[in-house]
Structure 1
């Protein structure tokens, strides 16, 4: 079939129609070029399609399998995984302020300790069940986080880091000051019988570590869902906008004061929940030992290694905080272990500056890419839906063209 076209002054102003099937047939008719296989990557998957749902189900099955495997291993290895999940909860809270809002905090060990001491005081002094103290620890750390986050309205960067550093350094001194409530320098000890699992779980007092493993896994799952929903909400967009450009965010209607203070409060609250779990895990709370500046540096290091502003960076950071010192201490003792630990951190940061999670997803995007689902066309209620073929064959009359100039159907 031969098609002739007339070029006049109006033909350049008309919207050009491209036949997708004709273009695809011409592309298939061409001989394959060098590197055509490489250009077939990445595989494109539409969100909500069967392939995408299958991949999501596969990921969920892997997570469930990993949790079930952790519940069946030995006591020592299970205790290590419990610590990983506790630190993952704390790092997820730090990620809200530092990763998504851009508020550098070097004093989150204070929130970690505040949540731990809230649980310890309620259990020892007032006879609460340990599991029921988590909401109280969340509320207390949220209020304190709002107060500590107030300087973020005026300062940022290194100046804000110094303010949070002072908060972290002052926390052990405040704990020692109220020795009648916190135990002071001698610490606060939670008796094992006060940490007995609830009766409905079926676990006895000797199985408390196993119960704490499952309880920590459930809390981590809830925290990950909360963080995911917060980041995807309008408030999460406001946090990231204030992190990237405060002037542009303010001009678009973002309330910077609310975004910063609430994010810092939520960050401290989630980290406090991790501290509450840590009190149930450790049993003995000593502020000068477990909640010092070194703990704050460990949380910040875990966030950097795992990946700032990523949803799964907290879990990877928890693995790094627990297992890198453990394996480095097995290779050397004393100062040599610290050197090995520092060298491992330097290598990880040099190879993956965006964190291990960021590097993994950067590589994954080269192989697999998930695109948004194509929205269905809007059909008015007073007009019946027309077949796609009739719509495609209808000539374009909006640009003033002649129907006779429409391309022939192929």
Structure 2
């Protein structure tokens, strides 16, 4: 058999592979719900970080707006959930859209400097945003708990009655909530990058001058994508607050957390759908397993070595490397468009002269006569 095998979209083979992939995903999801409490919590944490990295992928990966301050969006989403649950008696799951909306507004405001600057200078602005966030939390201690942090009582994180889960099954409930948010996020991102706005994002990333000269509104694209990026990461922050049950800005939402999200994106693979999920796995499990090999600084050094090795082995990220490897065996091609009704499937050659009706003269015959 000749490799790679070409599979046309909308063909029977393509639909079979698509259904097989859906079945495999469903099996993995239901298998995850049967894990022990700690292992299920780790998987939930992977999905939360995957959502946060997917938000960063919108701004940095697809649009080319380098940001190292997405930990602030992560923290704003978490504190929005915490404040609404503790001080206003909201159901925890109902705060996730609010966290996303608040971070959308903040993202639009933070994205305004991207109208004038880009690259390293924009990264410095987002860095200042990340550094300032813990200080702002400490300043508004009456609302956020300040440097003492905010604790969310376990009873307030009780699953809703309609879910069928009891208070002791909070981990299972949160696992399914994270699954739903992750799937919705991936679907929305997939739809976005396949739309005309996805083409605009690519144009802005590759050449802003050429995009502007073609009539594209660069300002709207930059600010809107930064806002959407912040909203997705804020939703992940709301889930993170439900997962932890306690918030401490100096511990979970520092500049180091923003750098960790960026590293997860680079290693997982920019401009890919699976890259953030792989980055979430790396972000959660690499520190967990390397911590057994050393204590303190030794653990951090081992973590850095593992990350550097992955970067050297897969410069385009793990998802990009797997994609190139897969294309050696299977290549997906677009299906040939169906012929329009009333038209021939094999139209005549455009350069061929049309047939001459009986009794009429061609142009050459008229010239000769």
| TM-score over 0.5 (shorter chain) | yes
**Aligned to 2:11, which of 44, 49, 59?**
49
**Aligned to 1:197, which of 123, 135, 159?**
159
Answering whether residue 85 of structure 2 is matched by residue 123 of structure 1, we say: yes
**SS in structure 2 at match of 1:366:** coil
Number of equivalences: 356
| Deviation for aligned residue 1:379 | 3.1
Question: TM-score of the superposition, structure 1-length normalised?
Answer: 0.84
| Deviation for aligned residue 1:378 | 2.0
User: Equivalent residues in 2 for 1:250-329 (5 A)?
Assistant: 250-329=212-291
**SS in structure 1 at match of 2:292:** helix
CA distance in 2, matches of 1:265, 1:395: 50
Answering whether residue 64 of structure 2 is matched by residue 110 of structure 1, we say: no
* Shift in alpha-carbon separation, 1:294–1:46, aligned structure 2, 3 A: same
Answering whether residue 360 of structure 2 is matched by residue 398 of structure 1, we say: no
Q: Deviations over 1:148-170 (max 9, x none)?
A: 00000100000000000000000
Which shows bigger deviation, 327-336 or 210-219?
327-336
* Shift in alpha-carbon separation, 1:396–1:298, aligned structure 2, 3 A: closer
| Deviation for aligned residue 1:250 | 1.1
| Deviation for aligned residue 1:249 | 1.0
User: Equivalent residues in 2 for 1:352-391 (5 A)?
Assistant: 352-380=314-342
CA distance in 2, matches of 1:339, 1:318: 20
Which structure is larger by alpha-carbon Rg, 1 or 2? Answer: 1
| Deviation for aligned residue 1:398 | 2.2
CA distance in 2, matches of 1:317, 1:271: 14
Name structure 1 gaps, 5 residues minimum: 1-36, 403-410
Answering whether residue 313 of structure 2 is matched by residue 351 of structure 1, we say: yes
Answering whether residue 301 of structure 2 is matched by residue 339 of structure 1, we say: yes
* Shift in alpha-carbon separation, 1:79–1:399, aligned structure 2, 3 A: same
CA distance in 1, matches of 2:350, 2:228: 55
| Deviation for aligned residue 1:397 | 8.8
CA distance in 1, matches of 2:200, 2:330: 29
Match of 1:137 in 2: 99
| Deviation for aligned residue 1:313 | 0.5
CA distance in 1, matches of 2:85, 2:221: 34
Match of 2:21 in 1: 59
Q: Deviations over 1:180-231 (max 9, x none)?
A: 0000000111000000001011111011011101111111000000111111
* Shift in alpha-carbon separation, 1:185–1:53, aligned structure 2, 3 A: same
* Shift in alpha-carbon separation, 1:105–1:395, aligned structure 2, 3 A: closer
Q: Deviations over 1:121-147 (max 9, x none)?
A: 000011111111111111110000000
CA distance in 2, matches of 1:339, 1:153: 38
Name structure 2 gaps, 5 residues minimum: 357-369
